[in-house]
Structure 1
């Protein structure tokens, strides 16, 4: 009986030591992965990396991790808008969960079989990236989008200022717009057209109210999936396959 108790005590101690060793190893791997992702993607700050699943050591020996979560606070993605100018747009809180991450023995490469995640872009950032300019919609009438905000029920409120025959319209004009994703492009499309005080063709007015913003070069080649209007900006779902994390 005493021998059995000794064996149990030893097993508990060895189990505890294994857990400690496993947690130390996973912590080291997370730090190493975060630094390599920062270098590969040219990030301004080190991302958060969390390797899920237990034990880590057996996953590492097999060369494949079940799940890896990555969080990037401020990511600068390259963009091109309606006017084809190329710039960057700041994406807040880009979080991705990578599944089936296969890596080389030297950890110089790592690729996820699939990935899903979320991100957000503030309305101010979206408007800035779109570079809305004053547009002459017809002789004597100019207009410009000056604000984007939450319109409720999944809509974006687009605020337009107009000038007619040199006189600025006293109050800004607002319309509710739908937002969607097509490929790597976010599109904003007015549900109804604003009344600028003169009769104008629909495509003429839409040259002011509607715009699109291309967002590419997301980390590892991850892609836009869905977008919805929210209180502080647009919330984006992302997804991808064969996502290159390192190398």
Structure 2
């Protein structure tokens, strides 16, 4: 009899786990459909609802962590890649999730991030910049220019700062290869520019910048947002 009860208990646990996993897949699919429809995306986003068990989150109407992988994002002819939305403290009534009405799902915070590829950085760069690659929190570049008629070849380190228009790039050091030493002040204006980044989902302003092997990842955090706010961007 005891063995029978143990077997039944195992079957119940397996059934609950299976129902939990099925439920989370259904919810993820519905959220992906809603986001794609609301934001006019060309492809459905990848949705991941974290936390186990899922069913207790559904009953309580509160989810700790939901991630959206949107992919490419284009605004005003400029494209950024690997766009992600990380939502924390998500609230959604059971009736909303069950009925597929996820447009009014709210999140306490939502962090949006995207990668500005180095091709985009280079496209905006002055013609003196020949190569760009990450160097810690900065960028390393090869420079070829002329100062007072003197040809200058060298390397430089550029710092990145967030602005309302995108990523501000400016030099912090320049090392010349042979020839006369050129002061940074003589090249500062030539090597300062702004990389215009398209408005991100939720209309959040860029506040975080981090170079990566693929490009410069920019991030922004918005407070008290709704899922259907994903279609809202700042022009």
Whether these two folds match at TM > 0.5 is: yes
Give the Cα separation in 1 of the matches to 2:150 and 2:168.
28
Give the Cα separation in 2 of the matches to 1:12 and 1:41.
43
Larger fraction in strand: 1
Q: Which residue of 2 aligns with 1:64?
A: 62
Give the Cα separation in 1 of the matches to 2:197 and 2:221.
14
Q: Which residue of 2 aligns with 1:107?
A: 102
Q: Which residue of 2 aligns with 1:88?
A: 78
Are the counterparts in 2 of residues 227 and 237 from structure 1 also a CA contact under 8 Å? yes
1:211 to 177, 183, 193: 193
Are the counterparts in 1 of residues 206 and 218 from structure 2 also a CA contact under 8 Å? yes
**Structure 2-normalised TM-score?**
0.74
Q: Which residue of 2 aligns with 1:83?
A: none
Give the Cα separation in 1 of the matches to 2:14 and 2:146.
74
Give the Cα separation in 1 of the matches to 2:12 and 2:115.
45
Q: Which residue of 2 aligns with 1:24?
A: 22
**Structure 1-normalised TM-score?**
0.71
Give structure 1 stretches of 5+ with no counterpart.
79-85, 134-143
Are the counterparts in 2 of residues 222 and 241 from structure 1 also a CA contact under 8 Å? no
Structure 1 230/107 Cα, relative in aligned 2: closer, same or farther at 3 Å? closer
What CA deviation, in whole Å up to 9, does each residue of 1:45-69 have, x standing for no partner? Answer: 2221111112222212322222112
2:202 to 217, 220, 227: 220
Are the counterparts in 2 of residues 63 and 103 from structure 1 also a CA contact under 8 Å? yes
Q: Which residue of 1 aligns with 2:122?
A: 127
> How many aligned positions are there?
219
Q: Which residue of 2 aligns with 1:191?
A: 172
Matches within 5 A, 1:225-244: 225-244=207-226
Q: Which residue of 1 aligns with 2:137?
A: 154
Give the Cα separation in 1 of the matches to 2:224 and 2:131.
35
What SS is found at the alignment partner of 2:36? helix
Give the Cα separation in 2 of the matches to 1:157 and 1:36.
42
2:32 to 29, 34, 58: 34
Are the counterparts in 2 of residues 67 and 97 from structure 1 also a CA contact under 8 Å? yes
Give the Cα separation in 1 of the matches to 2:131 and 2:204.
26
Shift of 1:238: 3.6
Shift of 1:118: 4.6
Structure 1 36/118 Cα, relative in aligned 2: closer, same or farther at 3 Å? same
Q: Which residue of 1 aligns with 2:47?
A: 49
Structure 1 107/189 Cα, relative in aligned 2: closer, same or farther at 3 Å? same
Give the Cα separation in 1 of the matches to 2:67 and 2:154.
43
CA RMSD of aligned residues (A): 3.5
